[in-house]
Amino acid sequence: MVAAFGQSAFEFTKSTDPLFASVLTHPANLSNTIQYTVTAASHGDIESAISAYEQLRFYNPKLVATPFQLGVLYYQLGSYAQARGYLQAALAMPDPYAGASPEDRGFARNRR
């Protein structure tokens, strides 16, 4: 596990332990899993972020952001073939905003 920005590994673990426990006990909870992946990735724990996104993908296979984020994370690890596969999968997924007016698209994006 890598700590970033001068943060000790203990501080990083302390900040992610409650999130990690939540991800384990409630694996389909989209909000907690995304929060954990963002926290882990921002602290350099790419492998943990990938693992959580894979779990998220299992429970929410229609989320376009999941294969995209997996592609980005695998690219950061230097696993370019794996990254390409996930990024191509994200591009092949249907647009969740297809048919929505520009106002609705903006509203939906701002609600996240």
- Cα–Cα distance, 97 to 102 (Å, whole number): 9
Query: pTM surpassing 0.75?
Result: no
DSSP for 24-60 reads HH-TT-HHHHHHHHHHHHHTT-HHHHHHHHHHHHHH-
Domains for the chain: give ranges and CATH numbers: 9-111 (1.25.40.10)
**In terms of pLDDT, which residue wins out, 109 or 35?**
35
**pLDDT > 70? residue 109:** no
pLDDT in tens, 35-79: 889 888 888 889 989 999 999 899 888 888 899 999 999 999 999
pLDDT band at 94 (very low <50, low <70, confident <90, very high): confident
